[in-house]
Amino acid sequence: LQAHGRFAPWAAAPIILNACILAVGVPFFFVEGAAPEDWAYIIGVAVVIAGVVQIAWSVWMLKGRAEWTRRIASARDETVALFKRMIPALIGLGTLQLNSMLDTLIAMWPNWVGPTIFGVDYPLNTASNAVLFYAQRLYQFPLGVFGIAVATVVFPELARFADNKPAFMRTLRHGVRLSLFIALPASVGLALVRDDLVRTVYTGLGTGFSEAGAARAAGVVLGYSIAVWSYSLMHVYTRAFYAAGDTRTPMLTAFATVALNLTLNVTLIWPLGEAGLAWSTAISSIFQLVLLCRIARRRLLAGPLLDSETKSSVVRTIGTSIAMGIVVAAVVAFWPARSTWGAHAGVLAVAVVAGAAVYAGLARFVRAPELRWLLARH
């Protein structure tokens, strides 16, 4: 579908998932005496049904765009090449997930082994994994909604122009500019509203998240948030390599990045606790982005990626993000003391709306084309 420029049908897949869970789960809600294990089984069945429906939906939406045939001989070579490239591609795209898995394994040491390591008190405790898990959900939201979406949209265009260097570079610049335009203010905003965001999402409505836990989670969110822009750009650059048929380079940079992340993890947890895991992931992501940029310039590009227009775009984005950050920081700093869930939710809402308004207003004032690209239907 995406190769044919159709992105909306698969974007509706989560709606199908939720609809199936509701369709299967709501009737079961009225069954008396249902045990938690029964609920888990029912939700599992709903997810499987949703997967089948999603595939059927995608096949239906391909109607008129793909020719279905039982003759597979002509596709054999392409299929073999696909499987050969699949594992390196999964590793290259999964660097952030691999680093997150390492973070989780290190955070789980007190739960699996105990409070010490080689006779020394471990810097994390049994709550560290939960703190890390919930904090990760917050930084992954802007990345999943916007960052990966930009990379997904630009990928078919990059592949289409793989043999046309000027068009390839133009498309890559377009993707980099749009990704940074969205992700940099997301990084700034997430870092500034982290405390109110964590308390709004996790300490209200009887969730049982303590104030101490919220403070720790906010510290983890800060570590992850500084590199949201890097996570997003990394997806764009990785897909540029894939579009050129190179799945090996992102895989090799992924190995180096995971090694760096592991080294930083076991170092930074001692002074920073579980927040050290987040900072390690962020630093490693920036490291991988730098590697990909340098290699891309030598292997993929016919000239410097940062031409005059792209440099101007980066400067505009940084300037408008700083201005937005000043406004958001002022809202957070000068808002009256808040000790209730409603107060935290209120300042979060005002800060987000004010920040978005300032950023969009300034982007329009300086005539940033990225704003027009973002709002365009085609």
Q: What is the pLDDT of residues 51-77, one digit of tens each?
A: 898 888 888 888 777 777 777 777 777
In the 3-class helix/strand/coil scheme, how is 208-276 assigned residue by residue?
A: CCCHHHHHHHHHHHHHHHCCHHHHHHHHHHHHHHHHCCCCHHHHHHHHHHHHHHHHHHHHHHHHHCCHH
Per-residue pLDDT at 90: 74
Q: Which tokens sit at 148?
A: 């990966």
The residue among 63 and 238 whose pLDDT is bigger is 238
From residue 286, give the alpha-carbon distance in Å to each of 255, 283, 292.
Answer: 14, 5, 10
pLDDT at position 5 over 70 = no
Per-residue pLDDT at 27: 78
**For residue 9, what is the enclosing H or E element?**
helix 8-11
Per-residue pLDDT at 1: 64
pLDDT at position 378 over 60 = no
Per-residue pLDDT at 140: 86
Model pTM greater than 0.75? yes
Which residue type does 113 have? V
Query: Quick one: what percent of the chain has pLDDT higher than 90?
Result: 54
The Cα 187–Cα 192 span in angstroms is 9
pLDDT at position 319 over 70 = yes
Mean pLDDT, residues 151-168: 89
Per-residue pLDDT at 279: 97
Closest CA to 219 of 200, 197, 204: 197
Mean pLDDT, residues 183-192: 97
- Check if the beta carbon of residue 269 is closer than 8 Å to that of residue 106: yes
pLDDT at position 303 over 80 = no
- Check if the beta carbon of residue 1 is closer than 8 Å to that of residue 58: yes
Report residue 305 CA to chain centroid gap: 23
**Interaxial angle between packed helices 228-243 and 165-192, expressed in degrees from 0 to 180 and rounded to the nearest 10:** 160
Mean pLDDT, residues 242-261: 92
Per-residue pLDDT at 223: 97
Say which range, 63-72, 301-310, 316-325, 352-361, has the weakest mean pLDDT: 63-72
Residue 52 falls in which region: left (phi positive, over 0), alpha (psi -120 to 50) or beta = alpha
- Check if the beta carbon of residue 96 is closer than 8 Å to that of residue 231: yes
Mean pLDDT of the chain: 88
Mean pLDDT, residues 287-313: 89
Per-residue pLDDT at 287: 97
The residue among 207 and 335 whose pLDDT is bigger is 335
Per-residue pLDDT at 123: 95
The Cα 2–Cα 219 span in angstroms is 38
Q: What is the pLDDT of residues 342-361, one digit of tens each?
A: 899 999 999 999 999 999 99
DSSP strand pairing (120-121 vs 116-117):
antiparallel
